[in-house]
């Protein structure tokens, strides 16, 4: 320790801090000063270089110097026509990739005319009932040229089948389609709570998709292993990191059990993380995630292809951090969170709109959100240097601690029999619930200030303009669905569904039967119901 470092430590030891100790949003202590003493002896090796194992500093050698991250704004509302128009609007304003938000009935596997869909059709995403809707959604958009992300999980295999068939109708074979579908079903049982089937058959569907894409869709990512919704449910950054990576390892293990070689599918696994408000903690999270994934894929799962070890990720700014109070302040929050994602090395990014705590975003709010990314990319200079925080005593120490916390969770989950068994025992669900409760208590007691909520409040705020979904769109979607049912070959649909049930009762990969159903214009609800006849349904055990 140098004389200067000793002086600083003695100074801080004598200096009174605030009444409450400094901690991250997750509750991790933050030291007043970090020095080389906070780093391990092998720090240089653990930090490394961008594009080289263990990828702490980034998955590509040139990072944003070579190519900016993909600006992929999440969009979807109403029917396929309205969302197609929003897609075109975003592409026209400089967006470089599409990201599809589905409405609640679609996420839950219900058709728009199901009793449980009432009041929800097209409300928080686009309504997609059949492959015909998917045709309309991407009408006039060259599917062979645009990369598309679809955020859907329990019925992901069905939506992928719809997408493949829509591509076929455009003359684009599955081999040329590029993009990602979320498919992370373990995250649903843990956090987001949108499911169609029990856990085991749901895991089979995920593995079927991984196998199909490895063999037929070389440009497609069949699973986007998602920590975003884990964090939105109230987890800490450490829990988001640990549970997300453990979910990913579980999908790898299932694919290996299926007989696939790790290097045949691992390069097509991607990640989706939350970009939350605690700036340095978030950057450390991304860096630790890359290092852990690279190590485990090589040392535990035997990957030889460097691409298998690259943890490429999409990030989205934290919806849960947005406030209905003083919504324009959300632009500041989103900017800070987006900067953390960029400095953390994300490959694509969605920035939330300032009005999303109130309603679906207006075009103005969406444009500001996209412009936020463009300002970061073009004006701030943060993309000019690769991993500018690399070697920072503070950030490297936080990265190491984040990694240690993840392995502590891995050990507990392994003791329970792995992630699937841990989910069945509600272990991660309970951990997240307790973390969310602790955080809310801190806010309620004023120990953590949320600007506009428990501090710096303004009376008599002026309301802002918000997007209103026309109720007539529901009738429009129902008429569309009924029209498809009237025009299609009824016996052909029944034959396709019967073949799907037969395959589900056996061990066949279900993607081909699902594609047959999609080509026959079977609806999502009909396909889900057919599978539920074989698989059954799922009811969660409450943990509160």
Side-chain-facing half-sphere of 139: CA atoms under 13 Å:
13
How far is 158 from 518, CA to CA, in rounded Å? 8
- Tokens linked to 450: 């949320």
The answer as to whether 462 is a domain residue is no
Helices (H) and strands (E) in the chain, counts: 22, 10
Band of pLDDT at residue 409, cut at 50, 70 and 90: very high
In the chain, how many domains are there? 2
Residue 29's pLDDT is 87
User: Does 19 have pLDDT greater than 70?
Assistant: no
- Tokens linked to 508: 């066949």
The answer as to whether 105 is a domain residue is no
Side-chain-facing half-sphere of 46: CA atoms under 13 Å:
16
Residues 513 and 433 in one domain: no
Residues 290 and 334 in one domain: yes
Side-chain-facing half-sphere of 62: CA atoms under 13 Å:
5
Lowest mean pLDDT among 24-28, 328-332, 481-485: 24-28
Residues whose CB is less than 8 angstroms from the CB of residue 522 and which lie 6 or more positions away in sequence, other chains included: 130, 493, 496, 497
SS3 sequence of 224-288? EEECHHHHHCCCCHHHHHHHHHHHHHHHHHHHHHCCCCHHHHHHHEEEEEEECCCHHHHHHHHHH
The answer as to whether 4 is a domain residue is no
Q: Tell me what the mean pLDDT of segment 339-354 comes to.
A: 96
How far is 84 from 193, CA to CA, in rounded Å? 27
Residues 152 and 51 in one domain: yes
Residues whose CB is less than 8 angstroms from the CB of residue 496 and which lie 6 or more positions away in sequence, other chains included: 513, 516, 517, 519, 520, 522
Judge whether 127 and 79 are in contact, CB under 8 Å: yes
Q: What is the pLDDT of residues 210-247, one digit of tens each?
A: 999 999 999 999 999 999 999 999 999 999 999 999 99
The answer as to whether 18 is a domain residue is no
Q: Tell me what the mean pLDDT of segment 412-431 comes to.
A: 97
CA 496 from chain center: how many Å?
A: 32
Sheet with 223-226, side-by-side order of all strands: 70-71, 348-350, 313-317, 269-275, 223-226
User: Does 63 have pLDDT greater than 80?
Assistant: yes
Residue 11's pLDDT is 55
Cα angle: 279, vertex 281, 283; to 5 degrees:
70
How far is 156 from 239, CA to CA, in rounded Å? 25
Give the torsion sign (CA, 191, 104, 353, 94): positive
The answer as to whether 379 is a domain residue is no
Sheet with 98-101, side-by-side order of all strands: 74-75, 98-101, 148-151, 179-181, 220-221
Lowest mean pLDDT among 26-35, 239-248, 252-261, 521-530: 26-35
Judge whether 324 and 333 are in contact, CB under 8 Å: no
User: Does 427 have pLDDT greater than 60?
Assistant: yes
Residues 319 and 195 in one domain: yes
Residues 336 and 432 in one domain: yes
Residues 243 and 297 in one domain: yes
Per the DSSP assignment, residues forming a β-bridge with 436 are: none
How far is 171 from 348, CA to CA, in rounded Å? 27
Q: Tell me what the mean pLDDT of segment 15-29 comes to.
A: 71
Residue 17's pLDDT is 52
Q: What is the CATH number of the domain that holds 418?
A: 3.20.20.240
Q: What is the pLDDT of residues 174-202, one digit of tens each?
A: 999 999 999 999 999 999 999 999 999 99
pTM assigned to the model: 0.92
The answer as to whether 316 is a domain residue is yes
Q: Tell me what the mean pLDDT of segment 419-437 comes to.
A: 97
Residues 226 and 332 in one domain: yes
Residues 317 and 390 in one domain: yes
User: Does 3 have pLDDT greater than 80?
Assistant: no
Q: Tell me what the mean pLDDT of segment 314-340 comes to.
A: 97
Residues 435 and 514 in one domain: no
Residues 490 and 424 in one domain: no
Residues 436 and 484 in one domain: no
The answer as to whether 348 is a domain residue is yes
The answer as to whether 329 is a domain residue is yes
Judge whether 226 and 272 are in contact, CB under 8 Å: yes
- What's the mean per-residue pLDDT of the chain? 94
User: Does 168 have pLDDT greater than 60?
Assistant: yes
Per the DSSP assignment, residues forming a β-bridge with 269 are: 223
User: Does 72 have pLDDT greater than 60?
Assistant: yes
Q: What is the pLDDT of residues 386-403, one digit of tens each?
A: 999 999 999 999 999 999
Residue 31's pLDDT is 81
Give the torsion sign (CA, 131, 207, 313, 147): negative
Q: Which domain range does residue 500 map to?
A: 480-535
% residues pLDDT > 70 (the chain): 96
Side-chain-facing half-sphere of 312: CA atoms under 13 Å:
20
Determine if residue 48 is left, alpha or beta; phi over 0 gives left, psi from -120 to 50 gives alpha, anything else beta: left
Residue in this structure with the two tokens 């005593």, named with its chain if needed: 393
How far is 463 from 402, CA to CA, in rounded Å? 40
Helix (H) / strand (E) element for 313: namely strand 313-317
Q: Which residue has the higher pLDDT, 300 or 31?
A: 300
How far is 136 from 14, CA to CA, in rounded Å? 67
Q: Tell me what the mean pLDDT of segment 484-503 comes to.
A: 98
Query: Strands (DSSP E) along 60-125, which ranges?
Result: 70-71, 74-75, 98-101
Residues 276 and 356 in one domain: yes
Residue 22's pLDDT is 80
Per the DSSP assignment, residues forming a β-bridge with 133 are: none
Residue 73's pLDDT is 79
Helix (H, G, I), strand (E, B) or coil at 98: strand
How far is 470 from 123, CA to CA, in rounded Å? 9
User: Does 20 have pLDDT greater than 60?
Assistant: no
Which of 427, 444, 461 is the last residue before a domain boundary?
444
How far is 212 from 221, CA to CA, in rounded Å? 11
């Amino acid at each position: 320790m140098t004389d200067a470092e000793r002086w600083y430590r003695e100074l801080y030891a004598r200096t009174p801090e605030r009444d409450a100790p400094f901690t991250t949003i997750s509750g991790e202590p933050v030291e007043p000063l970090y020095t080389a003493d906070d780093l391990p002896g092998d720090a240089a090796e653990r930090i490394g270089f961008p594009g080289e194992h263990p990828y702490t500093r980034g998955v590509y050698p040139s990072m944003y110097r070579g190519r900016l991250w993909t600006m992929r704004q999440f969009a979807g509302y109403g029917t396929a026509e309205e969302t197609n128009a929003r897609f075109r609007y975003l592409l026209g304003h400089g967006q470089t990739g599409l990201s599809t938000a589905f409405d609640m009935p679609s996420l839950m596997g219900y058709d728009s005319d199901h009793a449980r869909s009432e009041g929800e059709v097209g409300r928080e995403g686009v309504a997609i009932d059949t492959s015909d809707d998917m045709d309309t959604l991407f009408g006039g958009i060259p599917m062979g040229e645009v990369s598309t992300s679809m955020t859907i999980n329990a019925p992901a295999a069905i939506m992928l089948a719809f997408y493949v068939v829509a591509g076929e109708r455009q003359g684009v074979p599955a081999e040329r389609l590029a993009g990602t579908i979320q498919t992370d079903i373990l995250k649903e049982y843990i956090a987001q709570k949108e499911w169609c089937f029990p856990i085991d058959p749901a895991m089979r569907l995920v593995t079927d998709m991984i196998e199909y894409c490895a063999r037929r869709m070389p440009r497609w990512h069949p699973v986007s292993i998602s920590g975003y919704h884990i964090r939105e449910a109230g987890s800490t950054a450490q829990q988001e990191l640990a549970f997300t990576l453990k979910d990913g390892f579980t999908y790898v293990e299932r694919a290996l059990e299926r007989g696939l070689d790790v290097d045949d599918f691992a390069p097509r696994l991607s990640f989706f993380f939350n970009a939350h408000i605690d700036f340095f903690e978030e950057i450390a999270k991304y860096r630790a995630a890359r290092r852990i994934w690279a190590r485990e894929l090589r040392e535990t799962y035997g990957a030889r292809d460097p691409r298998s070890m690259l943890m490429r990720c999409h990030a989205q700014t934290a919806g849960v951090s947005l406030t209905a109070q003083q919504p324009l302040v959300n632009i500041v929050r989103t900017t800070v969170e987006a900067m953390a994602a960029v400095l953390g090395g994300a490959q694509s990014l969605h920035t939330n709109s300032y009005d999303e705590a109130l309603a679906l975003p207006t075009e103005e709010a969406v444009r500001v959100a996209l412009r936020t990314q463009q300002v970061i990319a073009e004006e701030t200079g943060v993309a000019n240097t690769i991993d500018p925080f690399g070697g920072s005593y503070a950030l490297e120490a936080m990265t190491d601690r984040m990694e240690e916390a993840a392995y502590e969770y891995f050990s507990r989950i392994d003791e329970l029999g792995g992630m699937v068994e841990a989910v069945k025992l509600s272990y991660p669900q309970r951990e997240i619930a307790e973390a969310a409760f602790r955080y809310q208590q801190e806010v309620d007691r004023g120990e953590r200030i949320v600007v506009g909520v428990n501090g710096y409040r303004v009376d008599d705020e002026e309301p802002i303009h918000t997007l209103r979904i026309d109720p007539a769109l529901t009738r429009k979607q129902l008429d569309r669905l009924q029209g498809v049912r009237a025009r299609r070959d009824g016996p052909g649909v029944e034959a396709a569904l019967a073949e799907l049930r037969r395959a589900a009762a056996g061990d066949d990969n279900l993607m081909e039967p699902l594609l047959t159903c999609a080509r026959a214009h079977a609806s999502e609800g009909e396909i889900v119901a057919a599978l539920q006849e074989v698989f059954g349904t799922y009811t969660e055990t409450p943990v509160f």
